[in-house]
Amino acid sequence: MPKIQTLSNRDKVNLADTWDLASLYPSDIAWERAFKQLERKIPGYRKFSGKLARSAAGLKACLVFDAEMDRLSERLGVYAYLRSAQDQTDSAAQRLKGRYQHAATLAAESAAFIRPEILAISEGRMRTLLNSPELRDWKLALERVVRYRPHTLGKKEEELLAMQGQMSGASNQIFRQLNDSDLRWGLIKDEKGRKIELSHASFITFLNSPKRDVRQEAFHAYYSQFDAHKNTFAAAYNASVQRDCYYAKARGYKSAREASLFADNVPLKVYDNLIDAVHTNLPVVHKYFDLRRRLMKLKDVHQYDTYVPILADIEKHTPWDKAVETVVAALEPLGDEYCRVLHTGLTTARWCDRYPNKGKQSGAFSHGTFDAMPYILMNYEPAVLDHVFTLAHEAGHSMHSWYSARHQPFQY
């Protein structure tokens, strides 16, 4: 291995290690054609306004049109987002993302009448509509809309809220640009004397170093950058909190927490019980950390001592292909089809963008869509055993998306 290791620029990454976005669009040019189609279709909402209560057929026509718009919008938005996530410094990708967000805001403004109009339909009339054969495939979607009756405003107010869509995402965008593009940590010398660029991805590798001085240096170097930009991070976080509180208050929720849980119909008590369980079991965690301290022969234990394996001679190097084989073998009880599809997705079908590069979004995620492959972003480090678990986690999300898209209609 080279004595100095730095992150590669995106254009230097091996193609086989990147995701293949062709199932969304084969190129930015193809995206552009679809984007113009979306822009042309936005005014199509007008013909439905004020007419949704007249007939089941008319209501269905509006719902079908709206679903077609959502479906096209999903592909456009996911492509732009993934192009941006692979390199936050790519100005062309940022332009795609910004243009999509603007068009999506315009579409939301044009569609803002739908929910208020549906909720203005009397309960008796709604029961009649829900029992009509034309709306058989839309019954669940409509029932979900009805749940929002206490939190839906009038047509004009909904239009105003929709107009704020792009602006409300500014705090997230600022955080991402700062966190994934602008922070720089320099080089850290590992336990073998190699100078390696410190990054979001390599940070966990340093925390797995058997040499405590390496872990300590990396930890303090990493968080020093956050400390140096703490006012900017705090401002972005405050804007995010204020946004959530504003929308919760505007829509009549008791709190931003209630608003966040409402879409999934999760009771507040479930959330509270999870928090209580953590606090109740903290003594067990403290006991484990003290055991770790004693086994590692440390006077005291710090955050940077909590990742390295207690057994220093444990095998930790897991190349990508080995990680895939391990994950797929563990999932054999879920059947041949599940394992075959997942193995292909993680290898030749290139669902996953595997390794870190300069400007790449930190962490990991799975992004499923209805019409394309369920893509996975990783910042995989072979020396970090926990990244094998992360791959299994994201693979589970992706296979859920893969099966759902094949067994459910888009509106569900």
**Residues that are catalytic:** 394
Rounded to whole angstroms, the Cα distance separating 74 from 376 reads: 16
DSSP secondary structure string for all residues of 105-152: HHHHHHTTTHHHHHHHS-HHHHHHHHTSGGGGGGHHHHHHHHHTGGG-
Structure tokens at 105: 């805001």
Structure tokens at 389: 């678990």
CA angle 168, 169, 175 (to 5 degrees): 130
Measured CA to CA in angstroms, residue 348 lies from 131, 202, 321, 351 at distances of 47, 26, 11, 8
* 239 CB-near residues (< 8 Å, 6+ apart): 170, 171, 174
User: Sheet of 195-197: strands edge to edge?
Assistant: 4-5, 195-197, 187-189
Under 8 Å between Cβ of 97 and 172 = no
DSSP three-state, residue 164:
coil
Closest listed residue to residue 395, CA positions, set 349, 331, 336: 331
Closest listed residue to residue 380, CA positions, set 370, 372, 389: 389
Beta strands in 15-127 (DSSP E): none
Under 8 Å between Cβ of 302 and 295 = no
Rounded to whole angstroms, the Cα distance separating 321 from 346 reads: 9
What amino acid occupies position 192? K
Beta-bridge partner residues of 188: 196
Structure tokens at 9: 């620029």
Rounded to whole angstroms, the Cα distance separating 247 from 252 reads: 9
CA angle 221, 381, 388 (to 5 degrees): 125
